[in-house]
Structure 1
Amino acid sequence: MRASFVLSEVLNGFRRNITMTVAMILTTAVTLGMLGGGLLVIQMANKSQKIFLDRVEMQFFVNSDVTKKDPNCTTDPCAKVKTEIEATPGVATVTYISQQQAYETAKASWAKDSPELAEFIRPESYQAALRVRVSDPNRFGAILDEYKRADGIDGVLDQRDLVKRIFSVLDGARNAAFAVAAVLAVAAILLIANMVQVAAFTRQREVSIMRLVGATRWYTQLPFLLEAVVAAVVGSVLAIAGLFIAKIFFFDKALGDLYGVNILARITASDVWYVSPWILLTGIVLAGVTAYGTLRYYVRE
């Protein structure tokens, strides 16, 4: 009996305040959708970072005079630098790329993309290099600084700037999503508070009668609390559905080219499912706490 009464009161509340309820559902959905978008960007950044840690490398270019005398890096100073780098803590591999290998790789790349320009490439345009990959990303800078001026080395290729730029863009997108979500959360809180106040006011007489016949304060206020929570749950479901749609039409299409060259990690359906419980929980807590606080503050009976 009590459960059926509470349920009927919740449904009556929705019917009486339909426009405000719809507004609250939509605002909550957009708020949680932006929050979910920020969480997905964090997921993308974390997975992309793993990709880059496996791929990011530094190259120490060998002086042209040294290369002419020692094209295969078998004598000092080239062999000495290679051995020293290999023995350095945090280094995973050191690979010597001869001038001829660098030329052949570049020529093959140009022949594929711009065959008309490939014929103009000459071996002397390229330098031999020591390609270094690290096992400890925190050692990247120290290794680079230690050997960039070593004997026989006259230049370096540092990919950290590229990585920093990419992750700064991801951080910016995440922060923007969270900022918009925070502003919308304030709007959602105000809508929930207003909805609860209006619902309590329209049923003030009913609540007073119930209190006179012995109903507890918690029992009379439970329908208002449930109205807010149910509306938030509906908004959360809409937000989750919106994230799946965004995955298909934004992440998959707009970022498809970056996925294809393995620059950014792909956002998958499992990523959306991973953030979904957090979105639902946030919606319930946001609505529940706001409704309860409003009832405690404005509804004294």
Structure 2
Amino acid sequence: MRLGLILSEVLTGLRRNASMVVSVVLVTFVSLTFVGAAILMQAQIATMRDYFQDRAQVDVYMCSSISNTDTCTGGVATEEQTAAVRAELQGQTLSPLIQELSYETPAEAYAALVENLPDYATLFTEQQTSAVFHVTLLDPTRSDVIVEAFNGVEGVEQITDQLEYLEPLFSALTIATYIAVGVAGLMLVSAVLLIATTIRLSAFARRREVGIMRLVGASNRFIQTPFVLEGVVAALIGSLLASGAVLVGVKFGVEGYLVQRMGTIPWVGMGDALLVVPVVVAIGVVLAALSAGFAIRRWLRA
């Protein structure tokens, strides 16, 4: 009987404040969608970082006929210089750090360049292409050891770390995540304030019923429960809509578009999205319950 009465009061409140409830639902929906997107973006950044770190290489470029660095004053790297670099990479100091080592001759490097960038075939010749050692490290963060070992060595034109080119991308994605979190935070604050306002308006509209309940000895908890549930129901609907938007975005935007066009890169999937859903719902419900509970307690004390 008490449960039926509480549910009846909840439905009454939702019906009387339909426009405000719709506003709460929409604000909660938008804010929690940003929250879910931010969580998935951070997961994607971590996945991509791990993926590229495992495959990132340090490339040691030998001097070619067009190299103009101080270590290439003698022209094309000699066989002795190339052999010295190979011996250093395979020596006792560096070899424990290396997972895989490969050597690409100028002819092989030129063929790969033409295959990947055909337009460059008319700009470079095989003699102008550098031989290169490709070094895959066990720990990609130790690339500075390779750089220091060959920095200033005769016959070595330059040493490049592929992770250095990826860091700006990761930084940009991280900034985008922070922006999404910031927008979500502002929207959540708006949702909390809107829920509190809705509950106070609902309590004011039913002040006569609340007065009667007090007169017949109803406890504060019994009086507060319907109002708290109103906020929770509105936020729950918004959070479920946000969860649906996150799932649809991953299903069609990531798996249906990005994976098909950039399948070599690991992307977040439906499994990750399903893990985000309970987090989104929990955030919406908890914030709504706290906001509504605080608002109705203050109103009852007034």
**TM-score, length-normalised on structure 1?**
0.88
The 3-state SS of whatever aligns with 2:15 is helix
Report the equivalent of 1:279.
280
Identity %: 30
User: Over residues 217-237 of structure 1, what are the superposed CA-to-partner deviations in whole Å (9 max), with x where a residue is unaligned?
Assistant: 101110000111111110000
- Residue type matched to 1:203 in 2? R
Give distance in 2, aligned partners of 1:285 and 1:161. Answer: 42
Gaps of 5+ in 1: none
Q: CA deviation at 1:93?
A: 1.8
Kept in 2, the 8 Å contact 1:82–1:130? The answer is: no
- Asked if residue 47 in structure 1 is aligned to residue 50 in structure 2, the reply is no
Give distance in 1, aligned partners of 2:35 and 2:92. Answer: 45
Give distance in 2, aligned partners of 1:212 and 1:283. Answer: 34
Cα distance change of structure 1 residues 15 and 79 upon mapping to structure 2, 3 Å threshold:
closer
The 3-state SS of whatever aligns with 1:84 is coil
- Asked if residue 101 in structure 1 is aligned to residue 99 in structure 2, the reply is no
Give distance in 1, aligned partners of 2:122 and 2:128. Answer: 13
Larger mean CA deviation between 138-147 and 182-191 belongs to: 138-147
Cα distance change of structure 1 residues 148 and 254 upon mapping to structure 2, 3 Å threshold:
farther
Report the equivalent of 2:67.
none
**Structure 2 residue corresponding to 1:91, chosen from 89, 98, 103:** 98
Cα distance change of structure 1 residues 62 and 15 upon mapping to structure 2, 3 Å threshold:
same
Larger mean CA deviation between 249-258 and 220-229 belongs to: 249-258
Report the equivalent of 2:34.
34
Cα distance change of structure 1 residues 52 and 86 upon mapping to structure 2, 3 Å threshold:
farther
Kept in 1, the 8 Å contact 2:39–2:276? The answer is: yes
After the TM superposition, which residues 164-175 of structure 1 pair with which residues of structure 2 at under 5 Å, given as runs? 164-175=167-178
Cα distance change of structure 1 residues 232 and 244 upon mapping to structure 2, 3 Å threshold:
same
Q: CA deviation at 1:282?
A: 0.3
Report the equivalent of 1:142.
145
User: Over residues 67-113 of structure 1, what are the superposed CA-to-partner deviations in whole Å (9 max), with x where a residue is unaligned?
Assistant: 6642995x4x2332222387355322221222222122223334xx5
- Asked if residue 22 in structure 1 is aligned to residue 29 in structure 2, the reply is no
Report the equivalent of 1:127.
130
C-alpha RMSD of the superposition: 2.5
Kept in 2, the 8 Å contact 1:62–1:129? The answer is: yes
Cα distance change of structure 1 residues 66 and 257 upon mapping to structure 2, 3 Å threshold:
farther
Give distance in 1, aligned partners of 2:142 and 2:2. Answer: 66
Q: CA deviation at 1:162?
A: 1.7
Kept in 1, the 8 Å contact 2:78–2:155? The answer is: no
Larger mean CA deviation between 100-109 and 156-165 belongs to: 100-109
**TM-score, length-normalised on structure 2?**
0.88
Give distance in 2, aligned partners of 1:141 and 1:20. Answer: 59
The 3-state SS of whatever aligns with 2:301 is coil
Report the equivalent of 2:301.
300
The 3-state SS of whatever aligns with 1:80 is helix
Give distance in 1, aligned partners of 2:87 and 2:166. Answer: 30
Give distance in 1, aligned partners of 2:26 and 2:97. Answer: 51
Gaps of 5+ in 2: 65-73
Report the equivalent of 2:211.
208
